[in-house]
């Protein structure tokens, strides 16, 4: 059995992978678990290096960790859950067919109410990816999809926000013809949601709208190679086309939370560039929400305010990798006004801006022209005039890296990325409207706690990686992992209730231990040293 390389481990974690273990057969016996330090406990025993912990998540109610791992047989991946407070992991999937459980075929989703795990793998027929549902604590496994045609597979799937049904795309009834289905989450009769497709047509993507009880999806349903936008009742019924006549396929689309409105990008018949539109998810009048475009311009991305008051979109060249300027407008009424004004070919990439949770500001990485650095900016998303504030302006050897906004909208935690040595990158926090920055030192992958009080981050080096926590306003530093030199703590996730940090520890022979362990920490690994936290208005 070959030992997985460190490179593979780190790649797996970078894709939000992790997970865990069970009692092992003699041929794959685990080393004795390390004595736990105060504040953390193992969710698995110490697992041998032949086991890969893969694709893990914390349940929305913060009670379980669910993961995929090849514990019993090398390279046969199976599904487990374990209470986050600590216990013996339980295998969730049914028996796998010979050759089943390949790593790229095994995916899962936890229902929003945390009661069930929906997973996809080739459990019954090798290389046939099908969909299953099982209680999160273990129990009877139910197959969700209908009988599969030879060569058929489930593609994408999601439980609906009410945890009542699962919507999925599969070439279930005709090989290589991908259609849209809905089925009760605990099993039952499936229903096909789309009407018959044009020859060579397919369903491409979908989102569920619990407000209206519909599924919104894109498909080349009526014209081959022209993807259009439709909605259909989640339990089945007539499909409604939502978009006006378009000259080209629909681009991205997104439902505004709690609004029963879907925004989408499409090029109108007659051309003129991709515009931003809004329409009720059940159909109705289509409203253009973007400004008049100049020749060669397109809307390439957009963000909907978390508070549901407005939308910000970016206008650039042909795709999301071309920077451009940001514009703000109301959801269904009002004119657009510019938020940035860069030279042509510069501005903001469509992936590099975000609303604060209160919807009042936009934080973005912005470059005005070729002679200017890419800097971290904050600007008011509502009201005029627009006033931008520089949060971080890097020097020539650094870049503005990843950033996170605190849930209370008061802080931005950002990375000062070292262009020559990633391990020398540092983290800082700064008030969202601007002000004095607080430095945390070396670090990456920041997570802000739900109460906006602390930052959890990883400090990597060439020979180790530790997990730290600090107060967001400075002080109170804690080493959460304490794995020591030549060992690694990687892939941290924070439970939704903010009570637990789950992460993987990786030990090598130089430390006297060899193997992996999934741990949960309550964050109390060092005596707390608190500073007084005052709202920004009082500082």
- For residue 90, how many other CB atoms are within 10 A of its CB? 18
Torsion of CA 279, 166, 235, 183, to 10 degrees: 160
Q: How confident is the model at residue 21 (pLDDT cuts 50, 70, 90)?
A: very low
Structure tokens at 222: 């009526």
**What is the enclosing helix (H) or strand (E) of 14?**
helix 6-14
pLDDT of the residue at 511? 63
The DSSP letter of residue 11 is H
Q: Which fold has domain 295-393?
A: Neuraminidase (2.120.10)
pLDDT tens digits, residue range 335-362?
Answer: 999 999 999 999 999 989 999 999 999 9
pLDDT band of 239, cuts 50, 70, 90: very high
Mean pLDDT to the nearest integer, 479-495: 91
65-107 pLDDT tens trace: 999 999 999 999 999 999 999 889 999 999 999 999 988 889 9
Q: What is the pLDDT of residue 29?
A: 29
Separation between Cα atoms, residue 539 and residue 515, nearest integer Å = 47
**Average pLDDT, integer, range 375-402:** 95
Block residue for tokens 């967001």:
472
pLDDT class of 309 with cuts at 50, 70, 90: confident
Burial code (b: 16+ CB inside 10 Å, e: under 16) for 287-306 equals: eebbbeeeeebbbbbbbbbe
Higher local confidence (pLDDT), 8 or 204: 204
Residue-level pLDDT at 320: 67
Query: Looking at residue 308, what is its pLDDT?
Result: 83
**pLDDT at 496 (0 to 100):** 96
| pTM to 2 decimal places | 0.88
- Closest listed residue to residue 501, CA positions, set 466, 449, 442: 449
pLDDT classification of 270: cutoffs 50, 70, 90? confident
Instruction: Tell me the DSSP string of 464-502.
Output: -EEEEEEETTS---EES----TT-EEEEEEE-TTSS-EE
pLDDT in tens, 196-206: 999 999 999 99
How many CA atoms are closer than 13 Å to the CA of 213, on its beta-carbon side? Answer: 5
Enumerate the domain spans of the chain.
Answer: 295-393
8, pLDDT greater than 80: no
User: In this predicted structure, what is the pLDDT of residue 306?
Assistant: 94
**CB distance 412 to 376 below 8 Å:** yes
The candidate with the shortest Cα–Cα distance to 361, out of 408, 427, 300, 402, is: 408
Q: What average pLDDT does the structure give for the chain?
A: 89
Beta strand pairing call for 426-431 and 287-288: unpaired
The residue among 20 and 199 whose pLDDT is bigger is: 199
As a three-state string, the secondary structure of 391-430 is: EECCCCCEEEEEEEECCCCCEEEEEEEECCCHHHCEEEEE
Give per-residue pLDDT as tens, 44-68: 988 888 898 988 899 999 999 999 9
| pLDDT tier for residue 36 given thresholds of 50, 70 and 90 | very low
Q: Counting beta carbons within 10 angstroms of the beta carbon of residue 51, is it exposed (0 to 12), middle (13 to 18) or buried (19 or more)?
A: buried
Examine the pLDDT at 3 and tell me if it is beyond 50: no
Judged by DSSP in three states, 122 sits in: coil
Q: What is the mean pLDDT of the segment spanning 259-286?
A: 94
Instruction: Kindly tell me if the per-residue pLDDT of 31 is higher than 60.
Output: no
| Structure confidence at residue 173 as a pLDDT band (50, 70, 90) | very high
């Amino acid at each position: 059995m070959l030992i997985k390389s460190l490179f593979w481990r780190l790649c797996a974690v970078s894709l939000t992978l992790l997970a865990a273990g069970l009692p092992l057969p003699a041929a794959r016996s685990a080393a004795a678990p390390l004595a736990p330090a105060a504040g953390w406990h193992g969710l698995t025993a110490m697992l041998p290096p032949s086991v890969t912990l893969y694709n893990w998540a914390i349940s929305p109610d913060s009670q379980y960790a669910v993961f995929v791992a090849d514990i019993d047989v090398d390279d046969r991946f199976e599904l487990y859950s374990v209470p986050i407070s600590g216990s013996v992991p339980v295998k969730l999937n049914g028996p796998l067919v010979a050759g089943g459980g390949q790593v790229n075929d095994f995916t899962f989703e936890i229902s929003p109410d945390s009661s069930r795990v929906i997973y996809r793998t080739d459990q019954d027929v090798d290389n046939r990816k099908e969909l299953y549902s099982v209680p999160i604590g273990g129990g009877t496994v139910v197959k969700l999809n209908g009988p599969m045609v030879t060569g058929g597979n489930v593609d994408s799937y999601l439980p609906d926000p009410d945890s009542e049904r699962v919507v999925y795309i599969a070439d279930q009834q005709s090989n290589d013809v991908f259609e849209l289905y809905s089925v009760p989450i605990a099993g039952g009769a499936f229903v096909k949601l789309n009407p018959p497709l044009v020859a060579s047509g397919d369903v491409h993507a979908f989102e569920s709208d619990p407000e209206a009880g519909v599924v919104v999806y894109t498909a080349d349903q009526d014209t081959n190679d022209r993807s259009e936008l439709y909605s259909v009742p989640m339990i089945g019924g007539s499909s409604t086309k939502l978009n006006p006549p378009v000259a080209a396929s629909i681009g991205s689309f997104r439902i505004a939370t709690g609004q029963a409105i879907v925004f989408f990008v499409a090029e109108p018949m007659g051309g003129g560039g991709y515009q931003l539109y809004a329409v009720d998810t059940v159909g109705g009048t289509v409203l253009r929400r973007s400004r008049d475009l100049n020749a060669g311009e397109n809307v390439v991305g957009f963000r909907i305010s978390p508070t549901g008051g407005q939308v910000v979109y970016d206008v650039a060249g042909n795709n999301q990798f071309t920077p451009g300027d940001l514009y703000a407008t109301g959801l269904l009424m009002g004119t657009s006004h510019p938020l940035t004004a860069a030279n042509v070919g510069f501005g903001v990439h469509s992936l590099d801006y975000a609303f604060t949770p209160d919807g009042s500001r936009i934080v973005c990485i912005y470059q005005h022209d070729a002679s200017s650095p890419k800097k971290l900016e904050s600007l008011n998303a509502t009201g005029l005039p627009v006033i931008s504030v520089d949060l971080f302006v890097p020097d020539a050897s650094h870049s503005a890296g990843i950033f996170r906004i605190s849930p209370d909208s008061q802080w931005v935690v950002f990375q000062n990325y070292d262009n020559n040595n990633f391990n020398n990158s540092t983290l800082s926090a700064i008030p969202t409207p601007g002000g004095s920055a607080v430095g945390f030192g070396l670090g990456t992958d920041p997570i802000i706690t739900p109460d906006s009080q602390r930052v959890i981050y990883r400090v990597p080096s060439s020979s180790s990686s530790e997990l730290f926590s600090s107060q967001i306003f400075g002080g109170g530093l804690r080493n959460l992992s304490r794995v020591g030199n030549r060992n690694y703590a990687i892939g941290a996730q924070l439970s939704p209730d903010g009570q637990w940090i789950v992460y993987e520890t990786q030990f090598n022979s130089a430390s006297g231990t060899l193997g992996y362990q999934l741990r949960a920490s309550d964050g109390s690994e060092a005596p707390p040293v608190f500073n007084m936290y005052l709202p920004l208005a009082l500082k």
